[in-house]
Amino acid sequence: MWELYEEEKAKLKMFLSKQCERVCLTTDTWTSIQNLNYMSLTAHFIDNDWKLQKKILNFSQTTGYSGELIAKHVEACLNNWELKRVLSITVDNATTNDVGVQYLKRRMLSWNCLVLKGEYVHMRCCAHILSLIVKEGLKEIKDSISKIRSAVKYVKSSPARFARFKACVEQERISYKGIVSLDVETRWNSTYLMLEASLKYKDAFVLLDMQDKKF
């Protein structure tokens, strides 16, 4: 497997050297359920045939989330790939990333590879900004969301409870066939899907409340 990795890496390095004039980087970090920190680095670029390419350059474990630490990981990866023609770096809208990008900007200025002296190298992830806005708005109805989340969690916690819920759906003759699923609290779009499905099954939840004393 390691030999295959090295072989494919050599092919990709050759492809980048011939097909990539300027690269836009995206990087993200997260913590696994084992409480381990990971970082990914992806390169986006237009090849010689004007096709958008996306290549994962790195996926590795890190010892922390500090801006400079992440920046040094990115720097080491770029050196490893011999890739220094960076146009922009897109990161989440966080203070630690501000520190990290400033470090990378200083390093890349020393490489003399930035456009317009790196004035526009730092790009803030629009999806992350939108997520922050929506989460702030959801705080206005957090009590209602919490109650709905508890209701969904109850009916999904065992096959017997879910069977009783399905029986209520049939009694209320609800034609909606979507799945009611528990959301991931850090993903607002999953909360939206949970609320959307729960609203369709509102009458079934009301009936379940009448029939199941534990609900």
Q: Are 108 and 121 spatial neighbours (Cβ–Cβ below 8 Å)?
A: yes
pLDDT at 194 (0 to 100): 94
- Return the pLDDT at 189: 87
Q: Does a structural domain hold residue 151? A: yes
Does 134 map to a domain? no
Distance, CA of 28 to CA of 40 (rounded, Å): 6
Residue 196's pLDDT is 94
Q: Is residue 132 part of a domain?
A: no
Contacts 24+ apart (CB under 8 A), 33-42: 36/61, 37/61, 37/62, 37/63, 37/64, 37/65, 38/62, 39/70, 39/73, 41/73, 41/74, 41/77
Helix 159-171, helix 142-156: angle, nearest 10: 110
Question: Would you state the pLDDT for residue 185?
Answer: 76
Domain check: are 152 and 95 in the same one? no
The range of the structural domain enclosing residue 85 comes to: 1-124
Residues 108 and 46 in one domain: yes
pLDDT of residue 69: 86
Number of domains in the chain: 2
All residue ranges of the chain with pLDDT < 70 are none
Residue 144 burial by CB count (10 A; 0-12/13-18/19+): exposed, middle or buried?
exposed
